[in-house]
Structure 1
Amino acid sequence: MSTSKVMSTEILEIQPQELKFTFEVKKQSSCSIRLGNNSDQYVAFKVKTTSPKKYCVRPNIGIIKPKMTCDFTVTMQAQRAAPPDMQCKDKFLIQSTVVPFGSTEEDITSDMFAKDSGKYIVEKKLRVILTVPPPSPILLPINGVLKQDPSCEASMQKDIVRSGVENIPPPQRVDEDVKGIETAEEMDELRAVDFVDSRPVYNVEELKVVKNDVELNLAKDFEDLKLKLNLTDSTLREPRM
């Protein structure tokens, strides 16, 4: 086995072997890579990419002590559109090299990873994989109302049973502009008031007086009418000259 192959298998273990991003238009996405130092030496690493303006890597350099690990996070900036067929051609390069015992990040220089420096540099290329987000719960129209797909609802119920926690919807808040609307009980009271007779109410004695006044007025009107008829009749009976 060659020295380069031994060094390559012993310096760093990289997991996973690809950068996988959940892609959504106009949203950032991140993933993490773990570097494990399998050697008995201090190892420096550096992360490069073919699209430096598109990604943010933290940290992009570091020192890993013997038998220790280090994670770095890659964030893909929000994109305006998805690439054709969700295929991304971007690549990442992880460079690593053995450094003196006790080295720190302040000791790292770009010359450490230069191929003409005479140092042994191990390079590992990682490709970018884009995945689509999981589908949201399907809403089916039932009697004009959108309701969740029974299969999704059943799955949610199982999750509730497993976790023992149920998401209870917050109490409905009455908006400021509808606070004046009456409740059902208040509306019933209003209807009851609407059906009450608004005419004045008299007692029995008052009704008798009213009745007598009405009868007197009717009798008087009747006598006046008879008198007018008699006068008219007399006028008609007078002989003409």
Structure 2
Amino acid sequence: MEAMTTDLLQIEPADLRFVFELKKQTSCLVQLANNTHHYIAFKVKTTSPKKYCVRPNIGIIKPSEKCDFTVTMQAQRIAPPDMHCKDKFLIQSTVVPFGTSEDDITSDMFSKDSGKYIEEKKLRVVLISPPSSPVLLPVNGDMKHDPSNEINAQKDRVPTGVENIPPPRKFSEEVKGLEPAQDMKKDRGDEDIVPRQAENAGDMKLTKDDFQLNSNNEFEELKSKLSVIDSKLREAEVTITKLSEERCRNTQEKDLLKKELEVLKRQINTKGSQAGFPFLFVCMVALISLAVGYYIHP
């Protein structure tokens, strides 16, 4: 394989930063940029699949395009000591043939035993306390407020209120090859991420009422379509019945015409035979009369 000159994917940000609050769900956006001339397939893994939800956790990025995926941390009841999190994420990427879609992605694509080049990049999880909430550090059994962490937390927030939105980046290097990244020895890198759909009800966009309303609208729409189809079927049945009756009448009329034609032929033959008999009789009488007249008057 030729030597690589740049990465297959450019990843922003380099760390996953979550604004941590107890009993609240938080999310982080990650952007993958493909600045190569190849189709790149990616897959996201984590050491704590039950704690996070990634959407999407697999995908295809076309040449010179970007793709975003969202990592959602489920609501936690206990804060980790010193706000230090040991969770890590692994992003695997590889070159795939042109035209490959997400449906074509298999786990074998990211297997090192296949002989293909697999690029692996690790992202660590960083927890940030919200500006309005103090960071609590245990000191001799008591909780202590650390103002320096609060200041750092304020710096990590974007003025618009959206955290961890990666800035766009542009790269002009063409991808030709890369040396493989080292495996995650201490991480459980082989554990796939949890399903794409968030299990927490708070992540759902549609409420129960909206879902029922949409279901009722779809049911009414299907009902109206079925009624239209039923009316068309009835019209078709009526048309078929009329055509069948017309065909039957035509057949009867055809048979009747055949019978009348046969009767006419018989009548014509009968009249012809009757008209020929008197003519022959007249001819015979005429011949006999000529013969008798010849003998009487020689």
Measured in 2, the distance between the counterparts of 1:95 and 1:49 equals 11
**CA distance in structure 2 between the partners assigned to 1:70 and 1:101 by the alignment:** 17
**CA-CA distance at 1:126 after TM superposition:** 0.2
What residue is the counterpart of 2:259 in the other structure?
A: none
Are positions 1:95 and 2:89 aligned together? no
Cα separation, 2, equivalents of 1:109 and 1:75: 24
1:135 aligned to which of 132, 135, 147: 132
Query: 4+ runs of 1 displaced by more than 4 Å?
Result: none
CA shift at 1:3, angstroms? 1.7
Cα distance in 2 for partners of 1:79, 1:59 equals: 22
Q: Report whether the alignment pairs 1:48 with 2:45.
A: yes
Residues in 2 aligned to 1:10 and 1:115: alpha-carbon distance in whole angstroms: 18
**Tell me, what secondary structure is at the counterpart of 1:35?**
strand
Equivalent residue of 1:56, what SS?
Answer: strand
Who is 1:62 aligned against?
A: 59
Give the TM-score of the pair, scaled to structure 2: 0.43
Match of 2:77 in 1: 80
Could you tell me how far apart the structure 1 residues matched to 2:75 and 2:46 are?
17
In the alignment, the residues of structure 2 paired with residue 70 and residue 134 of structure 1 have an alpha-carbon distance, to the nearest angstrom, of: 30
List aligned pairs for 1:88-127, cutoff 5 A.
Answer: 88-127=85-124
User: Which SS does the other structure have where 2:109 is aligned?
Assistant: helix
Give the residue type in structure 2 aligned to 1:3: A
Aligned to 1:3: 3
- How many angstroms apart in 2 are the aligned matches of 1:10 and 1:39? 9
User: How many aligned positions are there?
Assistant: 132
Shift of 1:21: 0.2
Give the residue type in structure 1 aligned to 2:24: K
**Which consecutive residues of structure 2, in runs of 5 or more, have no partner in the other structure?**
134-298
Work out the CA distance in 1 between the residues paired with 2:95 and 2:36.
9
The match for 1:30 is 27
1:98-144: CA deviation from partner (whole Å, max 9, x where unpaired): 000010000100000011111100000000000001127xxxxxxxx
| Partner secondary structure for residue 91 of structure 2 | strand
Could you tell me how far 1:10 is from its partner in structure 2?
Answer: 3.5
Are 2:11 and 1:18 equivalent residues in the alignment? no
Please state whether the residue corresponding to 2:67 is helix, strand or coil.
strand
What is the TM-score normalised by the length of structure 1? Answer: 0.54
Provide the rounded CA distance (Å) in 2 between the counterparts of 1:75 and 1:10.
26
Residue type of the partner of 2:105? I
**Partner SS state of residue 3, structure 1:** coil
Separation in structure 1 between the aligned mates of residue 88 and residue 43 of structure 2, nearest angstrom: 14
CA distance in 2, matches of 1:42, 1:53: 30
Mapping of residues 219-234 of structure 1, within 5 Å: none
Cα RMSD after superposing both structures: 1.1
The gaps in structure 1 that reach 5 residues or longer are 137-241
